[in-house]
Structure 1
């Protein structure tokens, strides 16, 4: 089997998860990790892959801090086929010319704008259009969930238009000591919020409007959707559309999963690495159908949901898998993806 040589530039919340995910893939090799950090974050990468300094200036500081530096990012780019840039927002855009000069393909994340690559990616929706491209951008966590959920109904011929409200977590848990929102909620300053237009970069024909606010919590995002269907449908038809779609898993209030934190605790009890949830967690018992309208709510674990999409983006750009189904089958198996988190004995996951 051909192995695609992968670099990860940026070893933060997403980067460390992407690095671990690449190591799980039978057709990929993690050649190195690049960063500028000198603290515990990069030191935890020791042993996972060789560590490179993302800038020449950082190399001395990293070595002085006891980090075993194998070289610079430029050295790393000379050894790989593709780089996944998971650096902080707007940093990646400044790295594009370096990647092009090195002749490597690159995957950016949702913090960058659509115009940086001219292509935005969610595997189930537009894998084919990414095949062989120089680059793509994996859309944000919230946008990924929107494309998965609304795409499922659209593919079933059921979706006419969508109106959604997003309650976003204020910050990543590990940064909650740096300040943030307490005892209040902060509306985003425009309607639609950016997630709606962002989803349309992947599915241009979606008729949707999103409204968003930041809440005083750090555990996942929460979406509420009012959907108009193309016709009257039964609740079972709607649930069947979600069952047929990839990377959506049902949760139920009747199982005691009554809040965002309870689902996170479930992920830990299931032995998920870092407590990650790669699926969209859709509350099955709250899906309500009234004629041609649907009301639903779901949970988005923003630290993890884009990681399988990033793996599929690597395969699309490098041609490792010919279509979305082939790539997602490998990715989902290596991750242990589920359709329902609590199965009855003998049920298939």
Structure 2
């Protein structure tokens, strides 16, 4: 049983907190943030111990009637590992503190690879993270790229891959603050950052991505054109993808024709927040032409990295040295079949 602390109780943080709480080999010591509004109040209702990141935050929390059990340093003194889910660039500042205190830590994909020197995807490089001091769980889009391409690579099918990403404009809960309307915004650089990011986990991947920001908030949509190492069949490709427990086949002809219908299905399944931890890949859209593969899938930007983070905790702390066992344990706890 390892004691785990969480810094940042936002879109990812609240999901990581619940996921840690669902494990039988780790203990959530508490969550730390600067907010005192409805978000952290939900953490109080879940009986999570609340820590204030700053003195000003502690005063504001107490004024709001939130019971604060300590500050950030108090939390760090009680944990074996910290998961930092703070907004982009804040974690990089916190890293100095973690290193000074000799605490293992995990950051999320908004930070640069150089922040930790190791980037993580459970089905690809779990073993290389064993007992490290730190890792970075790569972004939602990069996680999906690694899951699908790693499955093809393990089957000996992958030569190179070219993908187009249609990226959601902002997170749903803050779409009133920004995002885009009635337009699409292409990323200027090709490759977009997701391809090189995937190579930070697996340098051998020959992958190039391009990305377009679109006016919606539910998820990302990817289109992929993959050059296979040999002419093959659709059945062989599907069998390769089936080796990943975190790729879910969906059927276009069963009414799953859009990201909102897929979201509705996961809500009906009873997943918290309708979360989709898997890559939802259209089986009946997938096409193989000789040695070329074409497929498309949807990525839940708020949920896909949650199981990866749990596996990263096990790898860094060494409580499970077998990747397959950790993945299976995480899957069972989160209802991934």
Q: 1:245 deviation in Å?
A: 1.6
Question: How many angstroms does 1:49 deviate by?
Answer: 1.3
The equivalent residue for 2:168 is 169
Q: Corresponding residue for 1:27?
A: 25
Provide the C-alpha distance between the structure 2 equivalents of 1:204 and 1:178, rounded to a whole number of angstroms: 37
User: In structure 2, what is the equivalent of residue 92 of structure 1?
Assistant: 91
Whole-Å separation in 2 of the counterparts to 1:308 and 1:204: 23
Assess if the C-alpha contact under 8 Å between 2:170 and 2:178 holds in 1.
no
Partner residue, 1:264: 263
Query: TM-score, normalising length from structure 1?
Result: 0.95
1:4 to 2, 5, 9: 2
8 Å CA contact 1:124, 1:324 repeated in 2: yes
CA distance in 1 between partners of 2:244 and 2:171 (Å): 28
1:49-73 Cα offsets, whole Å, 9 max, x none, are: 1000012231111111221111101
Per-residue CA shift, 1:23-73, capped at 9, x if unaligned? 100101000000000111111100331000012231111111221111101
* Residue of structure 2 in register with 1:140 after alignment: 139
SS at 1:61 equivalent = helix
Distance 1:118 1:101 in 2: 17
Look up the match of 1:315.
Answer: 314
In 2, the alpha carbon distance for the partners of 1:37 and 1:17 equals: 16
CA distance in 1, matches of 2:204, 2:104: 28
Work out which of the residue numbers 16, 19, 28 in structure 2 matches 1:18. Answer: 16
Secondary structure of the residue that 1:246 maps to in structure 2? coil
C-alpha distance in 1, partners of 2:155/2:54?
Answer: 48
Query: Are the aligned partners of 1:38 and 1:65 in contact in 2 as well (CA < 8 Å)?
Result: yes
- CA shift digits 1:239-298 (9 cap, x unpaired): 100011220000001111000100000000000011100000000001100000000000
Name the counterpart of 2:273: 274
- Whether the 8 Å contact between 2:140 and 2:299 is mirrored in structure 1 is yes
Deviation for aligned residue 1:143: 0.1
Aligned to 2:62: 63
CA distance in 1, matches of 2:194, 2:179: 21
Q: Map Cα deviations across residues 91-115 of structure 1 (whole Å, 9 max, x no partner).
A: 0000011112222110000000000
Query: 2:191 maps to what in 1?
Result: 192
4+ runs of 1 displaced by more than 3 Å?
none
Counterparts of residues 1-349 of structure 1 (less than 5 Å): 3-46=1-44, 47-338=46-337
Distance in 1 (CA, whole Å) between partners of 2:144 and 2:300 is 10
Q: Is the Cα contact below 8 Å between 1:124 and 1:246 reproduced in 2?
A: no
Give CA deviations for 1:291-324 in whole Å, capped at 9, x if unaligned: 0000000000010000000000000000010121
Distance in 1, Cα, partners of 2:255 & 2:159: 33
Aligned length: 336
Q: Is the 8 A contact 2:51 2:72 kept in 1?
A: yes
C-alpha separation in 2, matches of 1:146 and 1:85 = 23
- Displacement, 1:326? 1.3
CA–CA distance in structure 1, aligned partners of residues 8 and 308 of structure 2: 17
CA distance in 1, matches of 2:47, 2:17: 8
SS at match of 1:267: helix
2:50 touches 2:67 (CA, 8 Å); kept in 1?
yes
Q: Secondary structure at the match of 1:294?
A: strand
List per-residue Cα deviations over 1:64-93 (Å, max 9, x = no partner).
122111110100000110000000000000
Q: Which residue of 2 aligns with 1:345?
A: none
Aligned partners of 1:246, 1:116: CA distance in 2, in Å?
Answer: 29
